[in-house]
Structure 1
């Protein structure tokens, strides 16, 4: 027996997956917003190392996403891989409070990112499976918005706990374990795969040859997304900039609170709007906002200007991140959506690694101003190159 849902309503599965993302992101942000400070102040790491670990983490996740996406298509099952991925993410949270060296941090980040890599593509493919084309923008936007609510709550919790616990970062890391395991439990009991999935019956182990079956429109989206990703550095550099702007250590997480608040409030309405007017123009607008964010951050010498830059950064994220995933869902063949999400994640992850290491080198050699100005130049170039590519991507019929 199948349950019906009202016309033009977002499927319940999307809501549950969004809440699962919310809980995991609360846990992750409680850890990640304090990690650059902990690495630099507690373990003596350099900005290059911060950039390297952030880029490597994304690269590990995205290599995993490639094989996870292909496997999700070949087995025609999304949920088991998603449970495995979220489970590894929860287990990684147990490693952070035990870490006594940078090697332990790298190990914890690796486990966390492998989990993220395993869960991301089957989760997004499942959303694409259960959502009709006319609601894709709204559904992916909703998932992003709920995820960013976690990104809002997590840093707030970190601030409160830093004050309450007298700056005991490791104690906060122990507390972060709780929402991570709640996310896994909700996923297990709250999500069912469609009884009549849109994808084909499973056909064995993953094959890299499936990548060659992706169409030109998917590759166009991946190319544009890679350029955009190269231009946008990790949020870890925003956290480092917050110290220069005048934030005390306990208040550093407010950076992510502000950014995620704007991101979360923007992603869903932008996704819904894209269902009516198209995705490409909104994505191009996000690049202009990113240029403004970089210039503002480069010139920020105090808290007000820094906060303005963070608001612009969050607006850029809300205008871009859900739409990139939606475009992949729009353009990929029904039986290769997992593969498409995996390739998209792999290529953009490699770009993130290169961009973050370069940003760290510029930061250590020339300071934060030069780093953000470089990002502004890259973003401006991306507008010129990626805009024609995005405008050629056709909306689904």
Structure 2
């Protein structure tokens, strides 16, 4: 084969990815465009348009995200029990699509809260089965590239959504409701795409049927390597608190309020540009090596954000933060597939998302407490310290995955 095919991030790699992986990537992109168009404006709409308090907005968001994390556990386990992923993933995207028209039609805060809640339930239902479906569809030697591509396309949607919201608010003269109606269109396109363009792969011969995926016995069968991956990911999540603190840091350094959305746009551009190349590269070399590089980027981002005196330095830190996301998020998803038995992948992703979701909540609380009590520097220095701990935890994970691959227990990261 020529160099193009051999290149980890070259055209030969993405051409070999199954059509279902591309379809799932564009499903994620379209739904993220729709959701982020609404979510970028919803807090302001609640406070300015409907007169709610900032505390109420925080409670709504917290409850919604917690609901999504908990739902992922049960939807993932159910996909293992029935032996199918697509129907549950489609149900989750369908719920999200059919709640979108409620946002422009809602006459009261209660309706908006209900719509946001159901939307997050939909996210919870689709998350673990979709990730398990990516693992089922992708050849083991292209697993990192598959997760990297889906993550890149998802992140493209994450920055296109707010940009479209800004442009449409200008076009419609700050008419929230008109923007919310436009957001309905990509949501239903995503739902149609997963229904008609994604096909469930045939069940691998000899894969065990699972009756009760959440029983103690089945959770034990996930294996020590998988639980090591979860533990390391939890410590890593403590290092990567909410991106809201990047916005606060930029604002404190003098960024005008009207340009605040540019922080997330810049971060997501770096994230989207790096996720696929990093995932594809992890199929050619040890995934742990790429993750350590990502953690190095996070440590660098934290140090820059802690000590940079002005906006150019903050901008550099934000880009480094986005690059670290690209080098880590898809790879942790690939590691779960490497470590977990095929018949328990849905459960594995559900538990992984629950633990890391709770860790992200704890990380943001810790970051906020340090910010208020000691100052922004200490928030980012604490993040760097947790990143260093994560590097230490990756070494036994790498060794276990290599032993697993050598013993023929299933695909693992290449040596």
What TM-score comes out, normalization by structure 2 length? 0.83
1:268-314 deviation line (CA, Å, top 9, x unaligned):
11111111111111112212211222232334554322221210111
**Corresponding residue of 2:38:** 31
Give the equivalent residue in structure 2 for 1:186.
Answer: 193
Structure 2 counterpart SS, 1:276: coil
* 2:244 alignment counterpart: 236
Q: Specify the alignment match of 2:220 in structure 1.
A: 212
Match of 1:308 among 291, 296, 316: 316
Q: Give, in whole Å, the separation in 1 of the partners of 2:112 and 2:248.
A: 18
Give secondary structure in 2 for the equivalent of 1:277. coil
Q: Does 1:352 align with 2:360?
A: yes
Closer/same/farther in 2, CA of residues 351 and 199 from structure 1, 3 Å limit: farther
Cα displacement (A) at 1:255 = 2.0
| Cα shift at 1:358 | 3.1
Q: Which residue of 1 aligns with 2:384?
A: 376
Q: Number of residues paired by the alignment? A: 388
> Counterpart of 1:297?
305
Query: Paired residue for 2:88?
Result: 81
Higher RCO (CA-CA < 8 Å; seq separation 6+): 1
Q: Could you tell me which residue of structure 1 aligns to residue 145 of structure 2? A: 138
Counterpart of 1:3 in structure 2 is none
- Displacement of 1:12 after TM fit? 0.6
Aligned mates of 2:276, 2:338 — CA distance in 1: 17
Output the CA distance in 2 between the equivalents of 1:104 and 1:244.
Answer: 35
Corresponding residue number in structure 1 for 2:123:
116
Q: How far, CA to CA, are the matches of 1:60 and 1:316 in structure 2?
A: 27
Q: Find the aligned partners of 1:322 and 1:373 in 2 and give their Cα distance.
A: 25
Does residue 45 of the first structure (1) align with residue 50 of the second (2)? no
Question: Which structure: larger Rg?
Answer: 2
Q: Which moved more, 1:24-33 or 1:275-284?
A: 24-33
Which sections of structure 2, spanning at least 5 residues, go unmatched? 1-11, 406-410
Q: After TM superposition, give the deviation of residue 251 of structure 1 in Å.
A: 3.3
Structure 1 unaligned spans of 5+: 1-5
C-alpha distance in structure 1 between counterparts of 2:151 and 2:228, whole Å: 23
Counterpart contact for 2:213–2:344, Cα < 8 Å? no
How far off its partner does 1:167 sit? 4.0
Root-mean-square deviation over aligned CA pairs: 2.9
Deviation at residue 165 of structure 1 after TM alignment: 3.4
Matched, 1:66 2:73: yes
